[in-house]
Structure 1
Amino acid sequence: MSQTKNPLPREVADAYVDELVALDPVTGTYLGVKESSSRLPDLSPAGQEALAQLARDTLAKLDEAERRPGAESDIERRCARLLRERLTAELAVHDAEEGLRAVGNLATPAHTVREVFTVTPTETDEDWAAIAERLRAVPTALAGYRESLALGLERKLYAAPRPTATFVGQLTEWAETDGSGRGWFEDFAAEGPEALRTELDEAARAATAAVVELRDWMRDVYAPTLEGAPNTVGRERYARWSRYFNGTDLDLDEAYAYGWAEYHRLLAEMRQEAEKILPGAETPWVALAHLDQHGKHIEGVEEVRDWLQGLMDQAIDALDGTHFELAERVRKVESRIAPPGGAAAPYYSPPSEDFSRPGRTWLPTMGETRFPVYDLVSTWYHEGVPGHHLQLAQWVHVAENLSRYQATVGIVSANAEGWALYAERLMDELGFLTDAEQRLGYLDAQMMRAVRVIVDIGMHLELEIPADSPFHPGERWTPELAEEFFNAHSSRPADYVESELTRYLTIPGQAIGYKLGERAWLLGREKARKRHGDAFDLKSWHMAALSQGSLGLDDLVDELARL
């Protein structure tokens, strides 16, 4: 877009998106920018610095824009606050050189390189020609990533050993998916047209060779250097990452205490619900283990994909017109099976800006073919409808009334994850979880988010376990104690819990945003309800709340209370 001579904050934000897409074609692909489909970003230290300089330049332009007449309007003010907060948080992470040790089981540059292919258009031969070019760019992109990690080693900026070991295993799986010698990129390219077969196969083999080269270097050079390095980050680094993911400077000790308060509240509710399923069960998780064997379940991978699609379609039909007002293009969401070799948690990818690619939920099967229903219902209310899909697709739908930045690039994790957890609770409040199996599954999912607050803050800050805890009271948290605690308070299998704990070590401060974000959404709703009294209309509030774009937790409660 062309920028006016004296831009307002929204124009500065949208100009930033244009310049960001030029530097980061992965962002462009998620936005649906066709020209991005053949390229990958520069993941080297120079590429990271180019992004940081763009942020600095944009902040300088924002300083000027906020002095323009009209910048005081609510819509300009919200955009300016979001842009300033996000870019400042991103620069704090960059200036601490966190990008030189970005290793883990998800959300690393290498994961980004692979996952962008799953949302790249594949409808035409022209699309596949762009994919072939993007495949040829994989070796350079991964070499840039390796250059960043090597500089981190030189500066003694070490990643955590445990996530590094997991990452090496993931790279091995990407390099050979089924024992046939073919890698993930070759399997992906096999879906392309015969007219481009030779070109696609050669490019995919080169991409796989780059994965093998990165894996070997990570295993033989990088990982041994980390011996003795801590798996946790400490209070200073944790506070920086917490600001990045939550959009606020949290009182981490208060948040830790809140996690424990939620733990005790939820445990009491779970015991009541478990009694309906397995009277006399020693713990709620004994009842959930009973459901694993004897509860309702779906057999088959394609069957569970179809069932999840039906669950979302039913939710849309039930909620539209009663608790939400949904545009036709927001009503479309697709259920997908996640590619192998990733983390265990389900996830969501938002629609492109023109909705030519719809929002999609992704289920990692982890090799399973039998799926208990109790573990899926509230999770898909979270990932799909009324959770991530309704919020993020609505932001894209109303982007013209906001800015591209507020609707897409400027997403604050705790806002989005807080809404999705609020959505699970909303479906319980609205009576969609009357079945005892589904309701215990919902409470188990809520408990997992409370446990996340406890262990993520506890182990990274090495806090003391409270005296009234039923688990190791008075001891200091370690990753090993965190995994033991999680296993004792979750229905998830051990490999899922292991993946979750590795995730927390990979991206500290992100996992706490679910519960703390939900708290912000509930508080904002309660304040709006008190302000309106009997005139409060939940449907109107929901649509206004979902149409204001991204906000950090610093601003979210205040803005929700105004609605």
Structure 2
Amino acid sequence: MGLTRAFLLAGLLLAAIAPAPAPAAAPALTAVPRQDEDARLLALLNSFARAQEALDPLGALARGDNSNPQALQRLFSDELAAAQRTELRRELIALARIDRARLSPERQLSYDAFREQNREALGWLSPDIVALTLVRPFNHFGGLHEEFPALIGAGGSLPYRDEHDYRRNLALLRTFPTVLDRASARFRQGMASGVVETRLTTVNMIAQLDEVLARPAEESVFTAPLAEMPEAIPPARQALIRADWIEVVGQDVLPAYRRLSRFLAEEYLPAARTEPGISAMKGGAGIYRRLIHRHTTLPLEPEAIHALGLREVARIQGEMEQVKAQFGYNGTLPAFFNHIRSDPRFHPKTPDELTEGYAKVARSVDAQLPHLFDRQPRGRMGIAPYPAHRGKFEAGGSYSLGSPDGRRPGMFYFNTYDLQSRFLSGVTTLYLHEGIPGHHFQTSLAEQDLTLPDFQRFGDNAAYVEGWALYAETLGYEMGLYTDPLQHWGTLDDEMLRAMRLVVDTGIHAQGWSRSQAVAYMLGNSGMGRSDAEAEVDRYIANPGQALSYKIGGLTIQRLRREAEAALGPRFDLKAFHTQILGSGVLPLPVLETKVRRWIAAVR
């Protein structure tokens, strides 16, 4: 979802939230009123956010803030990691001075989430862990070489309103080669210590770099902001900006890409590991368990997740059998998978057919929203295909966050690469997940709520964020969007994907599965196309544990809804339940459970 950044501030991206303590009973009033303690906490969290932003230059760019070039140069440096460790320790000491018992229930949630987030982040910055992570600065799925052009490019997060904006962004662009060279130095350190990426991710990185290098500076993805410059900039000044910009791209940026590509191809690739699972890397088994905790916010073992995935796959296959019968197909389920892959009726013939399909779903969803939600985000959401140069390396769709004021819309992107492997059946559920009411609702409502601390507004806790999006897919049943067997099949196929992720991710990283074994499992248990299956497996190889967050988070929210429905009976209000889930921004699952159960008790 959106942009995955390789080394943002550990307190934001490396957070794996442990279960929060039970809420303390309300204390008797003393000389310190509750609202004063709330104000103290919010003031601290606000100061922490500003301190973290100073140590998070790439995150600032993603939020649309102009980071200075000196800050950007610190990426992948020992200096930045040390500064992050110092800051996290300082924040935990300051937080301990807050009397949690005097906080309001809402601020207790903030306290618990922030404390555990920073404790976990500090663990990720310990020297033994950094030695296994910083020397793998990025890969083809979370690569700065791909993400920085998107951040600084036209339609990205940075403004291009006047000459001042262009000059500030050009200074960042001029700094970028230094960051790439430092990343190369980190890769070299990993080679020396035996901690390296896989051959597969390395080959994909080289292909991505070479695709950028295939265009001259004047046509580079980096020069996209020059295509339509504001009329407020005089033509003579536009010409100067254009000349300076192309010079930096041609003389600094593209040569840095060339150096990185040559290094990866000639030196790193021969040293890269052939096994896809991270457990095959030195220290990898321990890192995988940490990643499970980080991405699910729960202390789960790989074996338990694998078994859960197998049970979910079997359950969904039973529902697939019923929908298959509605198509009048009498063969086996695997045979039906092959039938769907080969029958042109299930595949778009043109990109426009996909575009029209998503627009139709959007209209149907908009009509249903007042029945499901009390609040809707400000601003619209755009729908567009991926740019041509990104499609080959992207999944079926993704969401890119808009601006908090709603002026820059959020964007739902869908993939038109390899059309014969795309499915018309997946249009509805993909829109619900990536767009409305999935990622667009959750992320926009959070960032637009100015009463929340920044880490709850902008957090990237995958179990919550992706769990909500997966839960949002199930709302298609209540909206009447799955009465069509084709779309019903599509949502089951997508649900199967998330269940298979539990099996395949743990299979690759804990049980020694090969890439071909993982791809074969996905093709044998779903109707997805081969290119999609390969892209998914390559994603799990590059980003261990992240794919587990969807199903774990989605099942948690579904379970909480069932608990609320059973406890409240006719007093259950679905809109109020959704407000509880979305109303406090990003929370770890244990803290979310505490909140929902507190609400259930209050309603009863």
Do these two structures clear the TM 0.5 threshold for a shared fold by scoring above it?
yes
Q: Is 1:121 matched with 2:166?
A: no
Shift of the 343–226 alpha-carbon distance from structure 1 to 2, 3 Å rule, reads same
Which residue does the alignment assign to 2:305? 255
Q: Is 1:539 matched with 2:585?
A: no
Shift of the 305–256 alpha-carbon distance from structure 1 to 2, 3 Å rule, reads same
Which residue does the alignment assign to 1:333? 381
Greater mean deviation of Cα atoms: 384-393 or 271-280: 271-280
1:258 Cα deviation (Å)? 1.2
1:377 Cα deviation (Å)? 1.5
Q: Is 1:15 matched with 2:47?
A: yes
In 2, are the aligned partners of 1:524 and 1:558 still within 8 Å (CA)?
no
Q: Is 1:184 matched with 2:184?
A: no
Q: Which SS does the other structure have where 2:417 is aligned?
A: coil
Which residue does the alignment assign to 1:225? 271
Aligned mates of 1:491, 1:184 — CA distance in 2: 35
Return the letter of the residue paired with 2:323.
E
Q: Which SS does the other structure have where 2:482 is aligned?
A: coil
1:52 Cα deviation (Å)? 3.4
Shift of the 380–483 alpha-carbon distance from structure 1 to 2, 3 Å rule, reads same
Q: Deviations over 1:133-157 (max 9, x none)?
A: 2221221221222222222223322
Which residue does the alignment assign to 1:559? 595
Q: Is 1:87 matched with 2:123?
A: no
In 1, are the aligned partners of 2:38 and 2:104 still within 8 Å (CA)?
no
Return the letter of the residue paired with 1:116.
L
Aligned mates of 2:525, 2:162 — CA distance in 1: 48
Aligned mates of 1:187, 1:32 — CA distance in 2: 17
Q: Is 1:271 matched with 2:328?
A: no
Which residue does the alignment assign to 1:425? 474
Shift of the 247–33 alpha-carbon distance from structure 1 to 2, 3 Å rule, reads same
Which residue does the alignment assign to 2:25? none
Aligned mates of 1:493, 1:548 — CA distance in 2: 38
Which residue does the alignment assign to 2:399? 348
1:303 Cα deviation (Å)? 5.9
Which residue does the alignment assign to 1:312? 362
Aligned mates of 2:68, 2:434 — CA distance in 1: 26
Question: What does 1:159-198 correspond to in 2, within 5 Å?
Answer: 159-176=197-214, 182-187=219-224, 189-192=226-229, 194-195=238-239, 196-198=241-243
Q: Deviations over 1:388-440 (max 9, x none)?
A: 11111111122x222121110x2210111111111111212442211111110
Greater mean deviation of Cα atoms: 93-102 or 502-511: 93-102
1:326 Cα deviation (Å)? 3.0
Return the letter of the residue paired with 1:62.
L
1:296 Cα deviation (Å)? 5.9
Question: What does 1:140-155 correspond to in 2, within 5 Å?
Answer: 140-155=178-193
1:69 Cα deviation (Å)? 7.1
Shift of the 222–40 alpha-carbon distance from structure 1 to 2, 3 Å rule, reads same
Which residue does the alignment assign to 1:467? none
Question: What does 1:199-210 correspond to in 2, within 5 Å?
Answer: 199-205=244-250, 206-210=252-256
Given candidates 445, 465, 476, the residue that maps to 1:416 is 465
In 2, are the aligned partners of 1:414 and 1:552 still within 8 Å (CA)?
yes
Which residue does the alignment assign to 2:499? 450
Q: Is 1:525 matched with 2:557?
A: no
In 2, are the aligned partners of 1:92 and 1:240 still within 8 Å (CA)?
no
Return the letter of the residue paired with 1:104.
N
In 2, are the aligned partners of 1:160 and 1:230 still within 8 Å (CA)?
yes
Aligned mates of 1:364, 1:124 — CA distance in 2: 33
1:272 Cα deviation (Å)? 1.7
Aligned mates of 1:81, 1:287 — CA distance in 2: 46
Q: Tell me how large the CA RMSD over aligned residues is.
A: 2.9
Q: Deviations over 1:62-117 (max 9, x none)?
A: 2223x3773x3222221122222222333333321212213422123334323322
Shift of the 54–343 alpha-carbon distance from structure 1 to 2, 3 Å rule, reads farther
In 2, are the aligned partners of 1:353 and 1:396 still within 8 Å (CA)?
yes
Return the letter of the residue paired with 1:353.
P
Shift of the 303–487 alpha-carbon distance from structure 1 to 2, 3 Å rule, reads closer
Q: Which SS does the other structure have where 2:135 is aligned?
A: helix
Which residue does the alignment assign to 2:7? none
Given candidates 399, 404, 408, the residue that maps to 2:454 is 404
Segments of structure 2 that go 5 or more residues without pairing to the other structure are 1-35, 231-237, 600-604
Given candidates 211, 226, 235, the residue that maps to 2:257 is 211
What is the TM-score with the length of structure 2 in the denominator? 0.82
Which residue does the alignment assign to 1:390? 441
Q: Which SS does the other structure have where 1:353 is aligned?
A: coil
1:271 Cα deviation (Å)? 1.9
1:130 Cα deviation (Å)? 3.1
Segments of structure 1 that go 5 or more residues without pairing to the other structure are 463-475
1:457 Cα deviation (Å)? 1.1
Given candidates 10, 29, 51, the residue that maps to 2:84 is 51
Q: Deviations over 1:436-477 (max 9, x none)?
A: 111101111100111000011122111xxxxxxxxxxxxx63
Q: Which SS does the other structure have where 2:42 is aligned?
A: helix
Aligned mates of 1:370, 1:228 — CA distance in 2: 28
1:500 Cα deviation (Å)? 1.3
Aligned mates of 2:341, 2:537 — CA distance in 1: 24
